[in-house]
Amino acid sequence: MRVRTPRALKRSIWVFHLNTGSCNACDIEILDVLAPFMDAERFGVKLVASPRHADVALLTGPITRETLPKVVNALRAMPRPRLVLAIGACAVSGGIWHDSYSVIGGFPRLKKILEENGVVIDRVVYVPGCPARPEAIIYGLAVLVGLLKKKVRKEVKEAGER
Amino acid sequence: MVKPILKLITVAKEAGVVTRKYPYDSPLLTEEFRGKIEIDASICWGCGACVKACPSNALTIRESMDVRELVYFAGRCIFCGRCADVCPTGAIKVTKEFELATEELEDLEQVVIHRKVKCPICGKHFVPQPLGRYVCEKCAKGGVPTYMMVCPECRRKVGVKKMIRCKGG
Ligand code: SF4
Ligand code: SF4
Ligand code: SF4
* Contact across the interface for A38 and B20, Cβ inside 8 Å: yes
B15: pLDDT strictly greater than 90? no
Is B139 inside any structural domain? yes
What confidence score (pLDDT) does residue B102 get? 92
List the Cα angle A12/A4/A141 in 5-degree steps. 40
* Contact across the interface for B101 and A157, Cβ inside 8 Å: no
pLDDT grade, residue A3 (50/70/90)?
very low
Q: Which residue has the higher pLDDT, B73 or A160?
A: B73
Is B103 inside any structural domain? yes
Is B2 inside any structural domain? no
How many C-beta atoms lie closer than 10 Å to residue A76's C-beta? 14
Distance B80 CA to ligand 2 centre (A): 16
- What span, in angstroms and rounded, lies between the C-alpha atoms of B76 and B87? 19
pLDDT grade, residue B83 (50/70/90)?
very high
Q: A20-77, pLDDT tens digit by residue?
A: 999 999 999 999 999 988 888 888 899 999 999 999 999 999 999 999 999 999 999 9
Residue length, chain B? 169
DSSP annotation string for B64-102: -SSEEEEEEETTT-----HHHHH-SS--EEE-------B
- DSSP code for A147: S
Q: Which of residues 54-73 of B touch A (CB under 8 A)?
A: 55-57, 73
CATH of the domain at B64: 3.30.70.20
Q: Are B36 and B97 in contact (CB under 8 A)?
A: yes
What confidence score (pLDDT) does residue B145 get? 59
Distance A91 CA to ligand 1 centre (A): 8
A6: pLDDT strictly greater than 60? no
- What span, in angstroms and rounded, lies between the C-alpha atoms of A94 and A105? 4
- What span, in angstroms and rounded, lies between the C-alpha atoms of A106 and B76? 10
Chain B CB contacts of A140 below 8 Å: 101
- Interface check for B106 against chain A (CB to CB < 8 A): the answer is yes
Q: B125-139, pLDDT tens digit by residue?
A: 888 888 888 888 887
Average pLDDT on A8-31 reads: 87
* Contact across the interface for B78 and A155, Cβ inside 8 Å: no
What confidence score (pLDDT) does residue B146 get? 67
What confidence score (pLDDT) does residue A1 get? 38
What confidence score (pLDDT) does residue A4 get? 44
- What span, in angstroms and rounded, lies between the C-alpha atoms of B169 and A15? 84
**Overall domain count for chain B:** 1
What confidence score (pLDDT) does residue A5 get? 42
- What span, in angstroms and rounded, lies between the C-alpha atoms of A80 and A57? 12
- Interface check for B87 against chain A (CB to CB < 8 A): the answer is no
- What span, in angstroms and rounded, lies between the C-alpha atoms of A158 and B130? 12
Angle between helices A134-144 and A25-34 (to 10 degrees): 70
Q: A125-158, pLDDT tens digit by residue?
A: 999 998 999 999 999 998 888 888 888 889 898 8
DSSP annotation string for A46-86: EE-SSGGG-SEEEEES--BTTTHHHHHHHHHHSPSS-EEEE
What confidence score (pLDDT) does residue A8 get? 46
B169: pLDDT strictly greater than 70? no
ipTM of the complex, rounded to two decimals: 0.86
Q: A87-140, pLDDT tens digit by residue?
A: 999 999 998 999 999 999 889 999 999 999 999 999 999 999 989 999 999 999
Is B20 inside any structural domain? no
What confidence score (pLDDT) does residue B142 get? 63
The range of the structural domain enclosing residue B35 comes to: 29-166
Is B22 inside any structural domain? no
Q: B84-100, pLDDT tens digit by residue?
A: 999 999 999 999 999 99
Nearest neighbour of A93 by CB, restricted to B75, B100, B114: B75
Is B87 inside any structural domain? yes
Average pLDDT on B69-81 reads: 93
- From B60, B68, B89, mutation site for ligand 2 pocket: most ligand atoms within 8 A of C-beta: B89
Is B9 inside any structural domain? no
Q: What is the pTM of this model?
A: 0.87
What confidence score (pLDDT) does residue B120 get? 84
- Ligand 2 contact, B47 CB (< 6 A): yes
Average pLDDT on B100-123 reads: 90
Is B34 inside any structural domain? yes
Instruction: Collapse the DSSP code of A27 into the 3-class scheme (helix H, G, I; strand E, B; otherwise coil) and give the result.
Output: helix
**Residue B86 CA, closest ligand 2 atom number:** 1
* Contact across the interface for A108 and B101, Cβ inside 8 Å: no
pLDDT grade, residue B143 (50/70/90)?
low
